[in-house]
Each structure stands twice: as structure tokens, then as C-alpha cells.
Amino acid sequence: MDYFEINGRKQLQGEVEISGAKNAVLPLMAAAMLNNKKLQIVNVPYLSDSTTMAKLLESMGAKVAFDSHNSITVDSSSLDSPFASYDLVKTMRASFYVLGPLIAKFGYAKVSLPGGCAWGPRPVDFHLEGLKALGVDIKIENGYVIASTKEMLGSKIHFPKISVGATGNVVMAAVLANGVTTLSNAAAEPEIQQLCNMLNSMGAKIEGIGSNTLIIEGVESLDSINKISVIPDRIEAGTFMIAAAAVGGKVKIKKIIPEHLDSVINYLKKAKIQLDIGSDYIYIESDGLSIASTDMETNEYPGFPTDLQAQWMMLMCLADGVSTIKENIYYDRFTHIMELNRLNCDIKLENLIAKIQGNQNLVGADVMSTDIRASAALIIAALCAKGKTKISRIYHIDRGYDKIEEKLSNLGAEIIRKK
């Protein structure tokens, strides 16, 4: 298995281009099956999750061609098997995104339940309740969701909690339902906005995009569009922003939509990090030393993203006092604490609030990735630590970060992938 060897305390200097968003490309690929046509998706991040979604679509009969490094064409005209196997779904929860489009396309689907993940149970009850409200019959048999319907009818659906995946799944079904569907407490994340915008350009009728209420007037069928370009990955961008702030240096983060990062920008400003915000870039200058301790809590968009919580925690490990983190999306998404503490960070978990005592004395050690974002936090910690750090199980990072070691090396970091 591959691992990273990192030699810390090298300041970061230069420019880095951000790839397309993992959490946007996956639902776009699933939505490509809705119209039996070809769809070219560009600015696709080169990640194992993109490949997993491609394999899943192929396993159902679609043709997926990787035209170049970051462009794929999905041809769903030959997709004829509405079955998503456990083998593929267990490696990537977002595979569950195929359920909504499959039921809209075939009136029937058999999709494996995803199971839990490193930071606890991650149920799919909102997805299933939403589909049931549209008139879909749902049975669970041998770990599979068996969904069937004769006709989907528009409905009023209120999600008990905002869910990115449930919103995407139900939207992809409701666009082809008969009548009007209203989704309240729906996700407003930029990735869901892009999905809805793409569906509208295919002829769907979705209003309220970017708000927490979506009104969807069902249409008979969707047209083809030639091409869609995936929005920049705000989580990758935020990871590089936090890395530059923590390690120190001067870094220009390019090809981004700064507005998608407003909450991260605001928290970095509170932590006294200097930022210059352009139309499609953010420039960060930091000495890595004068970081103000800042309490933070994660929230749904436009709040601070849970997918940057581990990286932010790492930054606070260097701050000038005590700071706290409250995780409001996944209450126990804290598996990175033990690993960060191995590098001499000082983090305690009390009543689901992380308390971080900052210090500037991080020292390299052997650590283990537990999930995609925890791995990113460990890389940043290793870049700040004195001496060598070995990070194992980096297959997690390959799921969500496009060429991370190349991008960091170009900024002057000493990071090597080893077998």
C-alpha cells in the first residue's frame, strides 16, 4: 500500500490550480443517465471516486469514455440494468446517487445500502422517505433497496435535516415526476446548485436554486446538452488555504469561485490570516506563527463546511491559545484527533466539543489516514512538524484530492509517495 513521507517545516510559495469538485461531478454523472443521450463533462477531477462512479455506470450498461485527463463522456443510451451492487456502493457512498435517476428512468431499481463510514452511521432514510412521498414503493431485502413505481407524482417533502445527498437524489427523481414537488429544508450547497442548473439546461423546471426551498415542476423527458464544466472544488481550495495559513508562505490559489468559500474566508480573517480575494483566486500570506485562536462550528452551506473541519482543527493546533470546534453535521466526526495528537497536537474531546490548545512544537511521527479529509489534516500537520512523518492508508486521500503531492511539491513542500 502507498504511503506519504513528508519532511516538514518548508514554507509554501507559488501558485496552485484547483480541480473540479468531487461532490459536484458525482451527481452530474448520475444525472447523465436521465436522458438516454451523451453528456461530456469537463474539468473532472482525476480521483478514484470519479472512476468508481464511471465503473458503476458501466456495470449498469452505460458507456463511459475518459476523453482526456479531465474530461469524460457518459453515454447512457445503452444503460439497461438498474442494479447497483454492494461491491461498488460500499467503496463510495455517493454511489447511492444512482437511485433517484434509475427510478425515474426505469420505474424500478435495486441499489445496495451504503452502510456506515469511518465517522459513524450515515443513514439514507431521508432519501427513501423522499422517494416514498413521490409514490415509490421501497423494500429493503438482503442489504438492498428495491424501489419500484408505476407513476411518480409530485409531492410536498420536508427534510428533517438538510441533506446534500437526499436533496440530489429526490431532485433527480422529481424532475420526471407528474406534477409539482416542493422540497423544504433542502440543501443549497454549490454542488446541488450545479446539479439543478444542469437539469434545468436539459429542460427540467426547478425554481429556488441556491435557497432551502426547491420547487420542481415535473417534465416528460429531458433533452441533451453538449457539455458541462464541473465547478471548482471549494473543499480542495479551502484545504490549500488552510495549508498555506498553517505552514506559512505566500500562495495564490487559482481557478476558484471565492464566493463559495465566504465562511472559510471569514474564519481565516478571524484567525488573523492575511488574504487578498480576486475574482477567481485567493492569495494568502502567512508566517505560520501568528494565528489567533478562533472558535468554530460547522454548518450547512453557507456555513463552515464539515469537510474542512479536520483541516481547520489542525490550523488551531498552532494558534496562540485555546479554541473550540463544534461539529453540527456529523456529531462524532473526530477520528483525526488521536492521529493529530501523535504529532504533538493537544486536542481533547469533551461532550462532543473539541478543545484545542495551540502550540508550535509539532514533531513528525507515523500516522494513519482514517478518511479523506482527516488525511488532508494529517498532511498539513506533517508539513508543519519538525522532521519526518509517514502517513499510511493514503488511498483515502486519492478518493478526494487530485494530484495532491504534485500540487504541494510545486509549492515547495517535501512530500513523496512511496510503496
* Residue positions annotated with a catalytic role: 117
Residue, CB closest to ligand UD1: 165
CA count, 13 A, side-chain hemisphere, 83: 6
Cα(383)–Cα(405) distance, integer angstroms: 12
Residue number, 94 or 282, with CB nearest to ligand UD1:
94
Residue number, 110 or 399, with CB nearest to ligand UD1:
399
Nearest to 161 by CA among 210, 116, 124: 124
Residue number, 164 or 231, with CB nearest to ligand UD1:
164
Residue number, 29 or 246, with CB nearest to ligand UD1:
29
> With left for phi above 0 and alpha for psi between -120 and 50, is residue 272 left, alpha or beta?
left
CB of 371 to ligand UD1, least distance (A): 10
Q: 167-189: b or e for each residue (b if 16 or more CB lie within 10 Å)? A: bbbbbbbbbbbeebbbbebbbbb
Q: Are strands 281-286 and 296-297 parallel, antiparallel or unpaired?
A: unpaired
CB neighbourhood size of 418 (10 A): 9
Whether the Cβ atoms of residue 382 and residue 336 lie closer than 8 Å to each other: no
Residue number, 303 or 412, with CB nearest to ligand UD1:
303
Whether the Cβ atoms of residue 235 and residue 306 lie closer than 8 Å to each other: no
Whether the Cβ atoms of residue 235 and residue 305 lie closer than 8 Å to each other: yes
CB of 11 to ligand UD1, least distance (A): 30
The backbone torsions φ and ψ at residue 277, rounded to the nearest 5 degrees and listed phi first, read -105, 120
CB of 125 to ligand UD1, least distance (A): 5
Residue number, 327 or 413, with CB nearest to ligand UD1:
327
The backbone torsions φ and ψ at residue 319, rounded to the nearest 5 degrees and listed phi first, read -75, 170
Whether the Cβ atoms of residue 109 and residue 72 lie closer than 8 Å to each other: no
Report the interface residues with ligand UD1, using CB under 6 A.
23, 26, 93-94, 122-127, 161, 163-166, 191, 306-307, 329-330
Residue number, 23 or 52, with CB nearest to ligand UD1:
23
Whether the Cβ atoms of residue 97 and residue 26 lie closer than 8 Å to each other: yes
Q: Could you give the strand order of the β-sheet that contains 180-184, starting from the edge strand earlier in sequence? A: 156-158, 180-184, 213-217, 205-207
CB of 98 to ligand UD1, least distance (A): 12
Residue number, 378 or 411, with CB nearest to ligand UD1:
378
- The DSSP line for 200-231 is HHTT-EEE-TTSSEEEEE--S-----SEEEPP
Nearest to 268 by CA among 234, 306, 238, 298: 238
CB neighbourhood size of 137 (10 A): 13
CB of 93 to ligand UD1, least distance (A): 6
Q: Which amino acid is at 322?
A: V
With 0-12 CB in 10 A as exposed, 13-18 as middle and 19+ as buried, what is 361? Answer: exposed
CB of 122 to ligand UD1, least distance (A): 5
Helix, strand, or coil (residue 91): coil
CB of 4 to ligand UD1, least distance (A): 21
Helix, strand, or coil (residue 158): strand
CB of 161 to ligand UD1, least distance (A): 5
